């Protein structure tokens, strides 16, 4: 048994292929810079409803926790001498993605904080202070199999993309609309990467990863649900502003599983049925 298989990792060539495909696609994506992408002097929070203001504040906190998210992957896929050479090779290939991912997510955090201060929602000093407590909170995913980190991120990225699109649809403020458009576009690409990794896991490991993926769905909680004070009340409030439900992403997980497996085994079929049963409503087509 190779070290990678013993650790539950993809063969390094598979991970390298997925990363290369992502970076090749990302190179064609529209790059944007917080300082120049938007006409910040036109941002106006007075055009937002109370619910929309609350939603902006909420998603700013979620995006700003980037150091915590990045640390999670660095700790679980280390690129140092603590792992065997073949595992290091795999993790180093993944790192090419995670550093790019981190840069793009940090851009999201900076764009949202810039929007808040430029629009008059708050001032820089106050906002920095508000981000300290949730930023220092420990974000943990008690997973036992590597595929779970990718299955989790697959759902989280797609759910976030959907929410940004739906919030954009109800906002009547051009600058925030543009910010949300750019964020949702990036999250869609991040979802594609995670979907490709999960598909490779199903192709390489088959039934062996069905249990871990099922556990990820069964126990799914969005980031910082145990860190932000009053998280669930706040989440319900922003859902009233623009429909938010992470189970909207489950349809896309089912599609990933179906595309990855030509002839579903009994366990894979059970996984699809289970994921489908966890959805609260059908995603609009």
The predicted pLDDT at position 273 comes to: 92
Q: What is the 3-state secondary structure (H, E, C) of 248-277?
A: HHHHHHHHHHHHHCCCCCHHHHHHHHHHHH
110-131 confidence digits (pLDDT tens)? 999 999 999 999 999 999 999 9
What is the rounded average pLDDT of the residues 54-77?
92
Give CA–CA dist 10/246, Å, rounded. 27
Task: Report pLDDT digits (tens) over 166-218.
Answer: 999 999 999 999 999 999 999 999 999 999 999 999 999 999 999 999 999 99
Q: Which residues of 16-55 are buried (b: 16+ CB within 10 A; e: fewer)?
A: bebbeebeeebeeeeebebeebbebeebebeebeebbbbb
What pLDDT does residue 226 have? 66
pLDDT score at 285: 31
pLDDT at 97 over 70: yes
If pLDDT is split at 50, 70 and 90, which confidence band does 231 have?
Answer: low
Q: Which two three-digit tokens encode residue 240?
A: 């009233």
Band (242; pLDDT cuts 50, 70, 90): confident
- Residue 281's pLDDT is what? 46
Binned at pLDDT 50, 70 and 90, residue 284 comes out as: very low
Whole-model pTM?
0.91
pLDDT tens for 13-54 read 999 999 999 999 877 777 789 999 899 999 999 999 999 999
The band of 9, judged by pLDDT with boundaries at 50, 70 and 90, is very high
pLDDT, position 3: 86
Does pLDDT of 5 surpass 60?
A: yes
Identify the pLDDT of residue 235.
67
Question: Domains in the chain, start-ordered, CATH in brackets?
Answer: 3-278 (1.10.620.20)
Place of tokens 């993926």: 213
Please compute the mean of the pLDDT values over residues 216-242 and round it to a whole number. Answer: 74
State the pLDDT at residue 263: 84
How confident is the model at residue 232, as a pLDDT?
Answer: 59
Tell me what pLDDT residue 282 has. 42
Task: Please determine, for residue 108, whether its predicted confidence score (pLDDT) is greater than 90.
Answer: yes
What's residue 119's pLDDT?
98
Structure tokens that stand for 202 in this block: 């199903």
């Amino acid at each position: 048994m190779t070290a990678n298989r013993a650790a539950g990792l993809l063969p390094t060539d598979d991970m390298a292929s997925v990363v290369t495909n992502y970076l090749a696609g990302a190179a064609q994506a529209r790059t944007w810079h917080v300082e120049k992408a938007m006409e910040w002097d036109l941002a106006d929070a007075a055009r937002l409803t109370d619910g929309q203001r609350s939603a902006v504040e909420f998603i700013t906190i979620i995006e700003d926790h980037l150091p915590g998210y990045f640390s999670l992957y660095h700790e679980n896929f280390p690129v140092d001498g603590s792992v065997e050479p073949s595992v290091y090779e795999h993790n180093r290939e993944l790192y090419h993605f995670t550093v790019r991912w981190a840069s793009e997510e940090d851009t999201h955090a900076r764009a949202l904080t810039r929007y808040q201060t430029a629009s008059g929602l708050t001032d820089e000093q106050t906002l920095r202070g508000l981000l300290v407590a949730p930023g220092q909170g420990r974000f943990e995913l008690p997973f036992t199999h590597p595929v779970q980190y990718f299955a989790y991120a697959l759902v989280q990225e797609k759910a976030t993309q959907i929410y940004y699109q739906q919030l954009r649809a109800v906002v009547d403020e051009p600058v925030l609309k543009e910010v949300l458009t750019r964020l949702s576009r990036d999250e869609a690409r991040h979802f594609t990467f995670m979907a490709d990794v999960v598909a490779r896991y199903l192709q390489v490991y088959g039934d062996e990863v069905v249990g871990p993926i099922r556990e990820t769905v069964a126990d799914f909680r969005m980031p910082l649900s145990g860190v932000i004070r009053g998280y669930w009340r706040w989440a319900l409030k922003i859902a009233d502003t623009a429909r938010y439900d992470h189970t909207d992403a489950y349809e896309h997980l089912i599609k990933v599983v179906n595309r990855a497996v030509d002839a579903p085994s009994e366990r894979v079929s059970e996984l699809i049925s289970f994921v489908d049963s966890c959805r609260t409503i059908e995603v609009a087509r």
